[in-house]
């Protein structure tokens, strides 16, 4: 009842959800999308995000983003946009918190490596769906259709079927473009003076102003044109700034010198488990017949944190010092 009174015609009411794969008794306290959000937050996959790379692999400083802090920033931005547009904030938050659950260790470096070595290919947004659909709790979280649709649409060519899912897609871009600039400046890879002046003139000359400009642009476009996306000169400036980051941070910068090592870790472990799948934990090994060895090995490696992947690699490939047994 409260949703129907407050939310706009652009929103999805929880009572109109297409539901879950497995029917469940309704909760007397929470809407269906609130329940989805809570399940994501309490999942093991969500907790592991705190030790997964965003851009900088194993940074020494405490203030660089991880996959978890990225997720929280996406959620905050998405909720701001959704509340302003009177969309379903619970649905938006559930999608935002779950969108990167399937990300590999070592960020997009790990993703690209798994995609190269696996016969089936690998995309983190499809793995995020796989986590909530099958892997978490051994049989999935049984989330609603709308949340799962938003997850697979946040970083692919697909367009989300809900405006809440579209909000998460643009919020992901707002978050990573701005926090990656912030982290790159902190790391000494960029300076404020080297950012494209045309972009800064449109978007703003500091972190807060740029985020504010982008959020207002999305809200204005949705209000005026009923389209949840960037538009006009702000949209052009965002894509130009994104290209600048690819050239100066994501590819070939000093921060990426450890990438080849990370790629080798993922590649060698993949080959190792393909040859000896029984070396994986039982909860993965027992799914070989059901899912096939390629998918199961990718499931296991993608679920690793950076530090667990490094530790596992050392255990497998680096001999331990010999100790005399008394």
Alpha carbon distance 251, 256 (integer Å)? 7
pLDDT tens track of the chain, all 326 residues? Answer: 689 999 999 999 999 999 999 999 999 999 999 999 999 999 999 999 999 999 888 776 788 899 999 999 999 999 999 999 999 999 999 999 999 999 999 999 999 999 999 999 999 999 999 999 999 998 899 999 999 999 999 987 899 999 999 999 999 999 999 999 999 999 899 999 999 999 999 999 999 999 999 999 999 999 999 999 999 999 999 999 999 999 998 886 776 778 899 999 999 999 999 999 999 999 999 999 999 999 999 999 999 999 999 999 999 999 987 777 66
Alpha carbon distance 118, 124 (integer Å)? 13
Q: Report the half-sphere exposure of 114 (CA within 13 A, side-chain side).
A: 29
All domains of the chain, ordered by start, with CATH?
A: 33-315 (1.10.3210.10)
Residues 299, 130 contacting (CB under 8 angstroms): yes
Q: Which distant-in-sequence residues (6+ apart) come within 8 Å of 105 by Cβ?
A: 52, 53, 262, 266, 301, 302, 304, 305, 306, 308, 309
Residues 178, 207 contacting (CB under 8 angstroms): yes
């Amino acid at each position: 009842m409260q949703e129907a009174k407050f939310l706009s015609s652009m929103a999805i009411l929880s009572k109109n959800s297409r539901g879950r794969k497995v029917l469940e008794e309704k909760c007397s306290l929470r809407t269906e999308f609130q329940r989805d959000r809570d399940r994501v937050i309490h999942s093991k996959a969500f907790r592991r995000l705190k030790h997964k790379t965003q851009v900088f692999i194993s940074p020494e400083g405490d203030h660089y983003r991880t996959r978890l802090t990225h997720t929280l920033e996406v959620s905050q931005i998405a909720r701001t946009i959704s509340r302003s547009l009177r969309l379903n904030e619970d649905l938006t938050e559930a999608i935002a918190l779950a969108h990167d659950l399937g990300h590999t260790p070592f960020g997009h470096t790990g993703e690209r490596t798994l995609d190269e070595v696996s016969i089936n290919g690998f995309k983190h947004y499809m793995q995020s769906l796989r986590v909530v659909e099958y892997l978490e709790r051994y049989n999935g979280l049984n989330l609603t259709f709308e949340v799962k649709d938003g997850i697979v649409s946040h970083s692919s060519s697909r367009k989300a079927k809900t405006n809440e899912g579209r909000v998460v897609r643009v919020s992901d871009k707002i978050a990573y473009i701005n926090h990656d600039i912030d982290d790159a400046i902190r790391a000494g890879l960029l300076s404020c003076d080297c950012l494209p002046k045309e972009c800064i003139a449109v978007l703003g000359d500091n972190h807060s102003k740029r985020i504010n400009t982008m959020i207002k642009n999305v809200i204005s476009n949705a209000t005026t044109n009923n389209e949840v996306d960037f538009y006009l000169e702000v949209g052009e400036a965002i894509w130009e700034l994104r290209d600048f980051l690819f050239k100066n941070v994501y590819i070939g910068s000093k921060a990426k010198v450890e990438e080849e090592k990370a790629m080798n870790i993922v590649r060698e472990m993949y080959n190792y488990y393909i040859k000896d799948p029984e070396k994986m934990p039982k909860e993965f090994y027992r799914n070989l017949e059901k899912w096939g060895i390629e998918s199961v090995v990718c499931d296991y490696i993608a679920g690793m944190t950076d530090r667990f992947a490094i530790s596992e690699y050392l255990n497998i490939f680096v001999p331990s010092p010999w100790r005399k047994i008394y």
